[in-house]
């Protein structure tokens, strides 16, 4: 079973030493935007592919590096710009505006995700039936909504993402396995929302896992969360423990046989 122990310094490391990773910017059809594909040149046999959806800041270095880490672990990863603009926010006010604009056009967002899915299914390195989607913060909510829509994916994983929805999963329609990692000290994902999600998944007959970290706040996988939280007076904080445990859970999730 593949394992990758996550160190905070690795996430923001430069490209030095990653000589076997091929990074390619890809333009999606119909003006839906762009993304970045990460292929591991050492990969000999088809395996899991992963669509990576960014936090509310946009497709920044953090999201790209998560996709890069997946490629280092032996997977094919595609970091998609779900805003479709190429813009990255440096202030929460702009991030909120980007996010709200995207959420106000759910069909465009769905078309963008489906274009990324179609692109990944065409990659010879991606084994049929083993395409996953993961997301952080805003991205976590995006991939969970895809699962609720019944999108044909092997699994989705959400990290410190919103768990509420206006379109709860229906029994028998959810095809993807689900992994959720959340922080109990995250006021953006309160306990009532977590319990509601558990009830929703149980009623839908979902195959799901929930990791709940007692001391973790919002953004616990992002080493830049502490600085952002202090600068903008927001309840953001990195947790090395929650980050490492949830990453290892993700690798196990990707490796589980169908």
Has this prediction a pTM greater than 0.75?
Answer: yes
19 pLDDT band, cuts 50/70/90, is low
Tens of pLDDT, residues 162-197 = 999 999 999 999 999 999 999 999 999 999 999 999
For the chain, list the domains and their CATH numbers.
20-255 (3.40.50.1820)
Rg (CA), the chain: 17
86 by Cβ neighbours in 10 Å (0-12 / 13-18 / 19+) ranks as exposed
Tens of pLDDT, residues 72-122 = 999 999 999 999 999 999 999 999 999 999 999 999 999 999 999 999 999
């Amino acid at each position: 079973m593949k394992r990758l122990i996550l160190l905070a310094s690795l996430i923001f490391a430069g490209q030095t030493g990653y000589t076997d990773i091929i990074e390619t910017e890809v333009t999606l059809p119909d003006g839906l935007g762009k993304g970045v594909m990460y292929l591991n040149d050492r990969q000999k046999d088809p395996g899991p592919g992963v669509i990576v959806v960014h936090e509310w800041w946009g497709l920044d270095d953090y999201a790209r590096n998560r996709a890069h880490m997946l490629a280092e672990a032996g997977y094919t990863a595609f970091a998609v710009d779900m805003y479709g603009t190429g813009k990255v926010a440096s202030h929460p006010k702009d991030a909120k505006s980007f996010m709200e604009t995207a959420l106000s056009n759910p069909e465009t967002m769905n078309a963008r995700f489906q274009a990324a899915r179609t692109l990944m299914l065409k990659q010879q390195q991606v084994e049929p039936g083993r395409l996953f989607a993961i997301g952080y913060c805003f991205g976590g909510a995006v991939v969970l909504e895809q699962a609720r829509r019944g999108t044909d994916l092997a699994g989705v994983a959400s990290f410190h993402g919103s768990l509420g929805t206006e379109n709860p999963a229906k029994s028998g329609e959810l095809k993807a396995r689900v992994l959720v990692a959340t922080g109990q000290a995250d006021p953006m994902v309160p306990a009532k929302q977590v319990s509601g999600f558990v009830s929703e998944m149980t009623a839908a007959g979902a195959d799901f896992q929930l990791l709940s970290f007692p001391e973790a706040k919002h953004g616990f996988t992002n080493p830049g969360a502490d600085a952002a939280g202090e600068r903008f007076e927001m309840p953001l904080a990195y947790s090395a423990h929650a980050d490492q445990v949830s990453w290892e859970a993700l690798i196990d999730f990707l490796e589980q046989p169908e």
